Amino acid sequence: MENPPISPIEDINTAIQSHNPFTNAGIVKEQDVWGKGFPDVPTLNAHASDTVFQAIELVRTSQFSQEKVTSIAITAQYGVGKTHLLSRIRHRLEREGGALFVYAGVNNYTDLNQVKYQFQQTLVDSLSKTGSQGVMQWQEVATAMANEGFKAINPNAPNLSPQELVNRFDKVSGNWSAKNKNLMNTLTKQVLKAKPNVDPYILRAILWTLSETQTSFAIQWLSGYELAKFNADALGLPNPSKTNQDREAEALKNIQQILNLVSYYNPVVICFDEIDITNSSTEDGLTTPQLIADLVKRLHDTLEHSELGRGVVILTVMFPDTWRNQIELMPGSGGISDRVSKYTQRKPIDLKYMGGDSMVELVTLWLKEFYGARSLTPPNSLYPFEESKLREFSKGKPTVREALKWCAENFKVDEDTLPKDPFERFELAFKKETEVDLGDYLEEKHNSLIVDALRFGFQTLKGQTLEGETETGETLKEVKVEDVTEVEPKSKNQGWINFKVIGKEKDKIFKIGVAVLQHSHGLSVGAGMLRLIDYKKFDITRGCLVRSKEKTIRKNWDSFGYLNKLVQELGGEWVYLKAEEIRPLIDLYSVYQKRDRYKLNEEQVLDFSKPLTTKNPLLREILSAPSGEIDEESIEGDELLNDFLNPSSIEDTDDADDLGELFN
């Protein structure tokens, strides 16, 4: 096959000037683990990922109970690629199957005295993500269980795929209800014949994930949330009121029951990430890394004595100093470190820095995606970089993050002749940015871009006095922005409150803490909201949540209670994020980042941006006095589904043969 012709160099250079794919590329977060991901260099730290897959194969095939649970500690300095590695493992499992994947980002854990209960929520949420068969990982397990139930009735029953069962389940269940029979009672009874020792309620809840109408409630119950009585009755599940202390006390047993059941069908890989938090907030004084190490030990010891089918692999990633100075120094540290890195005989796997070959491969992969998305063929695979310069830079042993940052700074071409007037150069740059297709820039993965754009917008307003009304009717009265600062203490904030806007309204000082939370995970939203309502600790006078109206906050999330406190007690607000209001700020911020290309200095970009930012509805809304009200339409509650769900709790019949409706 002939190579495609090289694209016109003008088109290639225009693409490079319009968008820098390396900007903000070095920071990998939880959404990158679960989402599309990023170009991966398979040879970089292949020794680590290969070891993980060898461990998965060991627990899957071993006949010895002491080998059914194993663990690996992975150490690396900041930015070397710990979360990159976990993302590689996750995406390979999604492509090829072979194990279920659980990701525990510990920086989402807001109360370390309830770490087991929060891990139960993490476990359930992770299994709600799409697996290798195109459905939830829960639904893969539920399908295997249901097929066992069918085999208990008729050994010749066909094996249904997860999608087939999901497509048919509600229709068959409704048909049974019309006949005054209960499908779930019968199906559960049949599955229990093959699994007599499991918790029947957990088994029942997992089977309910096959129902498109009941999945969300089954998952909430598995997470430990209390359901509305109506929903619990429909599922046939116990629903006692519990305190958080009760849930913490029961969590380890629930985790064991869940892992025992799901690992019977597939190995489970559990990844603890972001454990290197310096604060100590447990009742017994353990630091966060020590608390997670203790949890790993408890999981290991609890599960090792269980009847695990295909095993569990536990990964824990941390800084080398965390391993040396905290894990190995814990009381009884020999037993704990043995269990945190069992597979490698108490020796963590250390990740490596970039080398010349991996540097070239990294840039080649990123540029292949960049040019491919634009149907362009460059003169060579590294254009506009030179291989010799990439290899020279790699001699300094950069981290992945440092390598991508260097690429971002050097991804440029010689500019065409620019206008002499600075403002005309600014207008040209802004026009080019407005033409760039950013995709859905309100997605969770673009949270940091939204933060940077907002922070830049407020920077342009320093020294400005704003008057008038906002689009929602709130009033701005002599509002003057004086500064935009970081939020202290950083060790407690962990970046959740993104920045603080300081200023005056008439003569009254305000300090607005701004938190952009486009996250879909309840724990992540809760982690941010918990900081946003702590005015005293973070020295703010008003908390401002910035989040799309469409990204609902469930009433059973902790963050719903925090939101009520923020708005109705503390005088804070939820400002809705709208595409048409944030996009101009993103474009202005991009011009600011590329100012050198257009021979503009920082002062010029800030000054030329002011006419746009002073009128920006989003910035004005954040600065205006809050209304003190919550729009109930933006809150997703149980009542939304109650109109659509009316299942009956009917006594079981012995007519097991009718289960054939599911596979006919």
Q: Among the listed ranges 271-285, 332-346, 490-504, which one has the minimum average pLDDT value?
A: 271-285
Q: Would you state the structure tokens that stand for residue 540, as one six-digit string?
A: 């703010």
Q: How far is CA 292 from CA 72, 171, 288, in A?
A: 13, 44, 6
If asked whether residues 480 and 363 sit together in one domain, one would say no
How much is the pLDDT for 340?
A: 92
Report whether the peptide linkage leading into residue 489 is cis, meaning its omega lies within 30 degrees of zero: yes
pLDDT band at 652 (very low <50, low <70, confident <90, very high): very low
Q: What is the dihedral of CA 606, 612, 616, 619, to 10 degrees?
A: 10
Q: Tell me the residue range of the domain where 117 lies.
A: 44-134+244-350
- The 10s digit of each residue's pLDDT in 534-583 is 999 999 999 999 999 888 888 778 888 899 999 989 999 999 999 999 99
Q: Answer with the residue of higher pLDDT: 545 or 244.
A: 545
Cα separation, 26 vs 354, whole angstroms: 13
Same domain, 308 and 403: no
Of the candidate ranges 66-70, 280-284, 344-348, 412-416, the one whose mean pLDDT is the lowest: 280-284
Residue 164 lies in a domain: no
Count: domains in the chain: 3
- Is residue 196 in some structural domain? no
Any long-range contacts for 406-411 (C-beta under 8 Å, 24+ apart)? 407/22, 407/25, 407/363, 407/366, 408/20, 408/22, 408/23, 408/24, 408/25, 410/385, 411/16, 411/20, 411/21, 411/22, 411/384, 411/385
* Residue 637 pLDDT: 34
Angle, helices 200-208/244-262, rounded to nearest 10 degrees: 80
Indicate whether 616 and 513 sit together in one domain.
Answer: yes
427 Cβ contact list (under 8 Å, min separation 6): none
- As a whole-number percent, the residues of the chain with pLDDT over 70 amount to 89
pLDDT at 657 over 70: no
Residue 664: which pLDDT band, with cuts at 50, 70 and 90? low
Q: Is residue 496 located within the same domain as residue 554?
A: yes
Tell me the per-residue pLDDT of 250-292, one tens digit each, with 9 for 90 and over.
Answer: 999 999 999 999 999 999 999 999 888 765 555 667 888 999 9
How far lies 581's CA from each of 64, 471, 624, 625, 644, in Å?
60, 11, 16, 19, 35
Q: Are 181 and 653 in contact, with CB atoms under 8 Å apart?
A: yes
Q: Calculate the average pLDDT of the chain.
A: 86
Token pair for 527: 């982690």
Residue 56 maps to which CATH number? 3.40.50.300
316 and 402 assigned to the same domain: no
Contact in structure between 43 and 361 (CB atoms under 8 Å): yes
Structure confidence at residue 81 as a pLDDT band (50, 70, 90)? confident
Which tokens in the block code for residue 382?
């590294």
pLDDT for 219: 95
53 and 17 within one domain: no
Task: Describe the chain by its helix, strand, coil percentages, rounded to 5.
Answer: 50, 10, 40
Q: 637 and 509 in one domain?
A: yes
Between residues 521 and 530, the one the model is more confident about: 530
Q: Is residue 144 part of a domain?
A: no
Clarify whether residues 343 and 367 are in a common domain: no
Same domain, 458 and 510: yes
Of the chain, the percentage scoring pLDDT greater than 90 comes to: 53
In this predicted structure, what is the pLDDT of residue 632?
A: 55
What pLDDT sits at residue 644? Answer: 27
The pLDDT value recorded for residue 635 is 46
In a domain, 1, yes or no: no
Where is mean pLDDT largest: 280-284, 335-339, 652-656? Answer: 335-339
Question: Comparing 80-94, 274-288, 337-351, 569-583, which segment has the lowest mean pLDDT?
Answer: 274-288
pLDDT of residue 38: 67
What is the pLDDT, as a whole number, of residue 37? 64
Task: Calculate mean pLDDT across residues 40-61.
Answer: 92
Closest by CA to 662, choosing from 157, 107, 37, 103, is: 157
- Ramachandran category for residue 144: left, alpha or beta (phi over 0 → left; psi -120 to 50 → alpha): alpha
Instruction: Say if residue 636 is in the same domain as residue 502.
Output: yes
Q: Is 620 within the bounds of a domain? A: yes
Worst-scoring range by mean pLDDT, 55-59, 137-141, 212-216, 276-280? 276-280
Query: Average pLDDT, stretch 196-205?
Result: 92
Decide if 365 is inside a domain.
yes
For residue 655, pLDDT over 70 is answered with no
Domain stop point among 282, 315, 350: 350
Residues 488 and 621 reside in one and the same domain? yes
73: in domain: yes
Structure tokens at 248: 């913490």
Residue 79 lies in a domain: yes
**Six token digits for residue 103:** 């990701």
Whether residue 473 has pLDDT greater than 70? yes
Residues 469 and 597 in one domain: yes
The pLDDT assigned to 643 comes to: 29
Q: Summarize pLDDT for 103-129 with one digit per residue, the tens.
A: 998 888 888 889 999 999 999 999 999
Give the 3-state secondary structure of 168-209.
HHHHHHHHHHHCCCCHHHHHHHHHHHHCCCCCHHHHHHHHHC
Task: Tell me which of 328, 350, 372 is where a domain ends.
Answer: 350
Question: How much is the pLDDT for 306?
Answer: 65
